Amino acid sequence: MDLTLPEGLVAVIKWLRPLLLVFFIIGSITEKVMAAGNHIAYKFFNYGDSEKTKIFEHLFLYTTDLTVDSSLSFRYGLDGVSAPSFGTVTAPSGQTVDASKYRNSAGVSFSSRYTDTLQGVTGLDVSTKSDYSSFTLGQSLNTPILNEFFTMGLAAYYTASTITPTPTDNVLLKPPAGDLTSQQTNYLISLEHILSNKSKIKLLLETFNINGYLSTGYHYVTVSSGLGSPQSIENLPKSRTGEALTAVLSQGLTDKSAIHLRIRGYNDTFGITAYSGDITYRTYIQDATILEGVYRYYRQNAANFWASSFATMPTGYYSSQTALAPFSANQLGLGVRHEFIFDQRSINFSGILSAHFDLYLRNDGTSFNTFSAGIESDF
Amino acid sequence: MKYVLFLLMILATPLAVSEELNFYDKGFLNDPIMQLDNDGLKTALDQHIYKVREGSIGGFDTAGGSCGCN
């Protein structure tokens, strides 16, 4: 009888063990000493696309109240990839693509109401896998301005990433040697205004700047007059700046239903201009059960240096990444959320069960679908 | 031009208030059906996918290190 645990399960147990101990200690102290509340959440996420890439992810979130006005959150994620292709391109013969099966990520954030009106979140996030690591440090603040129905949000994030591409014997597709680093800063300003007791509007402007090595080390280009096979790793600019402007209108239709309209415009120094619009409809189908339907449309033009293939070996910047191609896409989503209360044999807690399915169809024939399901509880 | 448009929208929103509101009127706005991104973990996962599959970045509210879900 084979009692060997699956590799994935062993990895989960290995990484969860110390985290669970930390959660238990903090939860015990805060619950007994400070009578604080605790919140746990688990989310499973599955992704599959028309290039036969499959990704799964497990996410765990634990939040505990430190004081009446502050809380501490820990997040741990484990994801796995099964990919005959990497990203959106087929792995060329002989190239060793990303062989990492698992990636670990963890985050910690501190949330506090600093004054009667000023709230903020400070967060640190770390992500690692065999050939990639990053950390993000961020701060966001929210405060009413003018009056209690007008809220302004400010946020800034800094992310540093390092890629160490897997070495390959293919000279043409050999990524640059050594660690490839990039630094990204994001700034956000948002304004939310309550228009009535059933409607609100939110405006958000985000700008970003990335410097360093912006490719993955694996995306390649094909020269049609060449051997008919991939002939070079893409060459992206070393800097990228862009901004996105978003407006969201949330409108209650009845006491049991609401609709959200969001439009977003974007442009950057790669030459990409993109627009998206989505509409979300939510309604109670029972006292504690919400049904959600989502439709999203997305359209972008190509990056200045993009081509599906090149007639001759390009100079300057060049890429064939499908993410930088011109395309439009339609997305449909359906979700359900159910709030429950468990109260039996002196054990009582409340929680939420949720599930969501999305189908994303590009006009070039490619597609992907995602499914997520989770449970969260306060105790 | 985009920034000018943004500022105009900001300036215009107070004019859109159609009625006097009291604090107790805001209860419905806190209902889960009125929170567009009411599931932080799912929102973070969605943005991971968009980041890989689409050529645009950002504009999805305050995701990133600050939420511990990058």
Provide the pLDDT for residue A95.
38
pLDDT of residue A307 exceeding 50, the answer is yes
pLDDT of residue A172 exceeding 70, the answer is no
Provide the pLDDT for residue A226.
58
Question: B12 Cβ partners below 8 Å, 6+ apart?
Answer: none
Q: State the best of B66, B67, B69 to mutate against chain A, taking most chain A CBs within 10 Å.
A: B66
Q: Which comes out higher in pLDDT, residue A171 or B37? A: B37
Contact B66 A300 (CB under 8 A): no
Residues of A within 8 A of B18 (CB-CB) are 195-196
In this structure, of A57-71, A129-143, A225-239, A282-296, the range with the lowest mean pLDDT score is A225-239
Grade residue A228 by pLDDT with cuts at 50, 70 and 90: low
Grade residue B1 by pLDDT with cuts at 50, 70 and 90: low
Contact A200 B58 (CB under 8 A): no
The answer to whether A248 and B36 have CB atoms below 8 angstroms apart is yes
In this structure, of A20-24, A307-311, B35-39, the range with the lowest mean pLDDT score is A20-24
Contact A43 B19 (CB under 8 A): no
Q: What whole-number percentage of chain A has pLDDT above 90?
A: 44
Nearest to A155 by CA among B44, B62, B65, B40: B62
Q: Which comes out higher in pLDDT, residue A355 or A179? A: A355
Closest chain A residue by Cα to residue B11: A191
pLDDT of residue B69 exceeding 50, the answer is no
Q: DSSP character for B3? A: H
Grade residue A69 by pLDDT with cuts at 50, 70 and 90: confident
Grade residue B13 by pLDDT with cuts at 50, 70 and 90: low
Q: Which comes out higher in pLDDT, residue A196 or A231? A: A196
Contact A284 B57 (CB under 8 A): no
CB atoms within 10 A of CB A289: 14
Nearest Cβ partner of B6 from A107, A205, A252?
A205
Contact B70 A127 (CB under 8 A): yes
pLDDT of residue A218 exceeding 80, the answer is no
Give the helix ranges, DSSP H, for chain B: 2-12, 40-53
In this structure, of A136-140, A362-366, B3-7, the range with the lowest mean pLDDT score is B3-7
Nearest Cβ partner of A245 from B25, B38, B59?
B59
pLDDT of residue A217 exceeding 60, the answer is yes
Q: Which comes out higher in pLDDT, residue A333 or A108? A: A333
Average pLDDT, chain A: 83
Provide the pLDDT for residue A93.
39
Query: A245 CA to chain B: closest CA distance, Å?
Result: 6
Contact A206 B29 (CB under 8 A): no
Q: DSSP character for B46? A: H
Query: How many CA atoms are closer than 13 Å to the CA of A369, on its beta-carbon side?
Result: 9
Q: What whole-number percentage of chain A has pLDDT above 70?
A: 80
Listed by number, the residues of chain B in 10-49 with a beta carbon closer than 8 Å to a beta carbon of chain A are: 10, 13-14, 16-19, 21, 23, 25-29, 31-34, 36, 38-42, 45-46, 49
Looking at residues B3-19, what average pLDDT do you find?
55
Q: DSSP character for B22? A: -
Contact A157 B49 (CB under 8 A): no
* Contacts by A359-363, CB closer than 8 A, 24 or more apart: A359/A331, A359/A332, A359/A333, A360/A329, A360/A330, A360/A331, A360/B53, A361/A329, A361/A330, A361/A331, A362/A327, A362/A328, A362/A329, A363/A327, A363/A328, A363/A329
Grade residue A190 by pLDDT with cuts at 50, 70 and 90: very high
